Chain A
Amino acid sequence: MIWDLDLLILLLVVSCALAAITVKDLLSATVIFGVYSFLMCLLWAEMGAVDVAFTEATVGAGVSTVLFIAAILHTSRRSKD
């Protein structure tokens, strides 16, 4: 574990999470959420939990992004609140 690399990735994760809940465009929020998942995957792999990182990369960044986009295409793209 390299703690400065951890801190850098953690800061990026927190900023991605804040961006994903503040942005109005739902498609952009989904893409930012995919970036969040990949950074989370990097963090898991860096901490030595390779199995969790693998799951995060396949499910979090791969399939759930596609499912979110499929759900957005059936609703409106802009969020109202």
Chain B
Amino acid sequence: MKLLQERTEKQKFGESLIIQTAVRMMVPFIQLFGLYVIVHGHYSPGGGFQGGVILGASFVLLALAFDLRTSVRYMSERVNNTLGNVGVLIYTGVAVLCALFGGLFLDYSALDAIIPLGPIAWRSFGIFLVEVGVGLAVMSIMVSLFWDLGSGGEMDEGL
């Protein structure tokens, strides 16, 4: 009890032990749900955009409950930028590969020339690859939007 009182006196304005513990327990499940939404995007509601927003919202939640430095410690700005660019690269890379192997832009059945799975299986698998790219790009953009808007571009304490 004494320890809890001392800890409560030390914490800054706007920090709450209950909220921080709840967020620490919730964030892994939010990220798991985001991955589920991305992976099941092509045959159920959801998809790359919604799953990416959920993944980004988990980092926004970390930055809101703790401070901005905590969320930067879990995913640094360089990693965030790299993930976003890799996402766009996956999207356009799959599309250009389709065009190079004799199909149209984003015509996944042309990828049958690389690994012969059959054009129908490639249509399903190609949209999955594109969803992963969209999810990565949207997550990166959502997180960096909040970082820059919340700290005025200085990446210090944040809100």
A interface residues (Cβ-Cβ under 8 A, vs B): 50-51, 53-55, 58-59, 62-63, 66-67, 69-71, 73-74
Instruction: For the complex, give the distance between the alpha carbons of A50 and B47 in Å.
Output: 12
Known contacts A62-B57, A70-B159: A55-B149 contact under CB 8 Å: no
Kindly list chain A residues whose C-beta atoms are within 8 Å of the C-beta of B145: 67
Kindly list chain B residues whose C-beta atoms are within 8 Å of the C-beta of A62: 53-54, 57
Q: Interface residues of B, CB < 8 Å — how many? A: 19
For this complex, 5 residue pairs linking A to B, each with C-beta atoms less than 8 Å apart, are A51-B46, A55-B49, A59-B53, A67-B149, A70-B159
Which B residue sits closest to A62, measured CB to CB? B57
Kindly list chain B residues whose C-beta atoms are within 8 Å of the C-beta of A63: 53, 56-57, 60, 142, 146
A51–B47 CB distance below 8 A: yes
B interface residues (Cβ-Cβ under 8 A, vs A): 37, 45-47, 49-50, 53-54, 56-57, 60, 64, 142, 145-146, 149-150, 152, 159
Q: How far is the CB of B131 from chain A (nearest CB, A)?
A: 13
Q: How far is the CB of A61 from chain B (nearest CB, A)?
A: 11
B150–A70 CB distance below 8 A: yes
Kindly list chain B residues whose C-beta atoms are within 8 Å of the C-beta of A67: 145-146, 149
Which A residue sits closest to B46, measured CB to CB? A54
Which A residue sits closest to B52, measured CB to CB? A58
Which B residue sits closest to A71, measured CB to CB? B149
B152–A74 CB distance below 8 A: yes
The 5 closest A-B pairs by CB, nearest first: A50-B45, A58-B53, A70-B149, A70-B150, A54-B50
Q: Other than the known A66-B146, A70-B150, what 13 A-B pairs have Cβ atoms closer than 8 Å?
A: A51-B45, A51-B47, A54-B45, A54-B50, A58-B50, A58-B53, A58-B54, A62-B57, A63-B57, A63-B146, A66-B60, A70-B159, A73-B159
